[in-house]
Structure formats: C-alpha cells, structure tokens
Amino acid sequence: MLLYRGDDGNAKPVTTVAEWAKRRAEIVRGAEAVMGKLPGPEKRCPLDPKTEEEVDCGKYVRRLITYASEPGSRVPAYLLIPKDVLAGGKKAPAILCLHGTDNVVGHGNVVGLGNKTNRQYASELADRGYVAFAPNYPLLAKYQPDLKKLGWESGTLKAVWDNMRGLDLLESLPYVDASKGFATIGHSLGGHNSVYTALFDDRLKVVVSSCGLDSFLDYYKGDEKNWQPERGWVQHRYMMKLADYKGRLVDIPFDFHELIGALAPRDVFIVAPKGDGNFRFDSVDRIVAAARPVFQLYGHPERLRVEHPDCGHDFPPDMREAAYKLFDTVIAGKPGR
C-alpha cells in the first residue's frame, strides 16, 4: 500500500503526504483503466433542473426533479428540503444519498418508497434538518441512459459523473450550506457508489458505506462464475472490462483497500455485517487494516471506522444513527468530537 513508483520506475516507500499523492494518482489511474477516464469540461453543460413533482412530507418537502448531467442525458433525482430551510433565512448542509439495487423504484427506496425496510436514510436525514439528494443509478428502474451512445465505458463511471454533477447542483442552491463540504451515504450498490464517487470528488468529506464492498479477490470466494458477463461486477451498469480478469483477479489494477486508502484523511465509516451474504466482513477487516496506515500518515487513524453488526445484508437503525452523528459533527459542525 505504501509503495509508489519513482521516476526511475523502481518501487519506493511512501513516507510523506507528498509521496502518498503519487501513490494515490497510481490508484486513480488503475481505477480508470477499468472504469474509463473521468471526463473533463466537454461533458459539462447547464444543469437545467426541472421539478416534476412535489410532496409534503411533514417536516420537509420531497421534490422529484431531473437535471442535465451531460449533453443528451437527464438524471432523475429526489431532492428533500426541510421546510424551515425553504422558508428562508437558514441554510443546511447536504448529503448525497445513494440507493441500493432496485429495479422497480430505484432511488425511491431511500426516500421511503417501495417495500424495503432500513433503506429510508434520505427521509431520516431530511427529518434531522439536512438537505438530502438522491439521484437514480443508471440502468435501474426508469433511468435507462444509452451508455454506449453517450460514450461511457462503464455504468460505474456514468454514476460517478451523475453524482458529481448532482453536487454541482447542490452548490448552486441558495439554501445549501456547502462550507464544510458534503457527505455521502449508501447501502449495497449505494455503498460502493459512494466510495467510487468520493475517489474522484474531494468535496465529499464523509463517506458511509453499508454492505458495499469486499476485496475483488474475496468476492463470493473468488468463484469464477461471478466473473462472467452480466454477473456480479461484470454488468453494463458496473464494469464490463472486469470480465477480462476472470481467472486472474490478482491482476485487476485496483482494489478496495486502495480506494479506501485514497479517501484519507476524510472520515470513512464502513458497515460490514457479520451475516452479509454479498460481501465478506473478514475481507473488509483486511481492507481496513491495509488502508489504515494511510490515515495514520495524515495523523488521523480514527477517521477510518468499521462496524460489524450481527445481521445479514442490511443497514440497521443503530448503524444509521452512528452515521448521522458523524454527519452532525463533521459537516454540520455540532459538538461531538
């Protein structure tokens, strides 16, 4: 983890933050080798937000909006705004709320729609006074962009771009307090979507990932059948290029211990239940152990935290509450740390 390639091509130890920046750049290049390269200004266009629906939800209003993340692509998203913030004279921090795999209601499951319990973190955060923003993931439910026509090599990077443009939209809203940055929270698909987005966007100061990751080497114990096209990670909505590494997973040019290390020195909270059938909690411990020295390099080992609730592939209330308290202290500036 703490080795980088010097100008002479030889491996050298990372001993300073400046040297870590070189190692981190290698990690980003490794991720882009599979996801595709993050676009530049050519993909930017006016966001042109439009409200399609507004619902009174008690303490907050829930707006279904669309916004233009790039030419030829409009993203559906829920925007939850506390009423006292809308009334004026007060700003609130905002949180990117990323949903799990759901091909029926998609992003609706984080705002309390659908029939999945323990997924309504966007609604709960709006009740606590945050602006919550929940875009739909590409190629799920009603959001079906043509990735090939739009020039994307992976659904993963398209989602990252949509999320980054969503942060641009939040920055433009007069009632959003972005002075301490943003946070992101997600379960399952939303868990790794949060990590990937934070890799490319340092405006995200807190990253919460529930049931969202383990090492590629450990994914379903390395069973090769999960590395066929349209299985596991090898789907159009994820990264089709990973099919090239079937039978040689060790050659994948990035893995989650590197991605988590690349988030330092920001706050990272990983929820890895003991009974998760998708991602192995012991693999998560190895990821955290490998990444923690990077946080130590910055002098903040406490900012990388992992918890193992005794449940299956779920995001239980006590873990969500722990995430919310972290948001309170880091981006809302409330006492607690």
The per-residue pLDDT for range 19-36, each reduced to its tens digit, is 999 999 999 999 999 999
User: Residue 283 and residue 218: Cα distance in Å, rounded?
Assistant: 7
Once rounded to an integer, what is the mean pLDDT over residues 196-201? 98
Specify whether the CB–CB gap between 78 and 108 falls below 8 A.
Answer: yes
Once rounded to an integer, what is the mean pLDDT over residues 184-203? 98
User: Residue 212 and residue 188: Cα distance in Å, rounded?
Assistant: 4
User: Residue 11 and residue 225: Cα distance in Å, rounded?
Assistant: 35
Q: What is the DSSP string of 46-93?
A: ----EEEEEEE-SSEEEEEEEEEEETTEEEEEEEEEEHHHHTSS--B-
Specify whether the CB–CB gap between 194 and 161 falls below 8 A.
Answer: no
In sequence order, which ranges of 91-209 are alpha helices (DSSP H)? 121-127, 147-150, 155-172, 189-200
Task: Classify residue 249 by its DSSP letter.
Answer: G
Q: 51, 76, 69, 203: which is closest to 135 by C-alpha?
A: 76
Specify whether the CB–CB gap between 233 and 213 falls below 8 A.
Answer: no
User: Residue 246 and residue 265: Cα distance in Å, rounded?
Assistant: 33
The per-residue pLDDT for range 116-135, each reduced to its tens digit, is 999 999 999 999 999 999 99
Topology adopted by domain 43-331: Rossmann fold (3.40.50)
What tokens appear for 306 in the block? 């992992």
Once rounded to an integer, what is the mean pLDDT over residues 78-83? 98
Output the pLDDT for position 287.
Answer: 98
Once rounded to an integer, what is the mean pLDDT over residues 167-189? 98
As a whole number, the mean pLDDT across the chain is 97
What tokens appear for 93 in the block? 């921090």
Is the pLDDT confidence value at 39 over 90? yes
Output the pLDDT for position 335.
Answer: 85
In sequence order, which ranges of the chain are alpha helices (DSSP H)? 17-35, 83-86, 121-127, 147-150, 155-172, 189-200, 256-261, 281-297, 317-330
Say whether 170 sits in a helix, a strand or coil. helix
Once rounded to an integer, what is the mean pLDDT over residues 81-110? 96
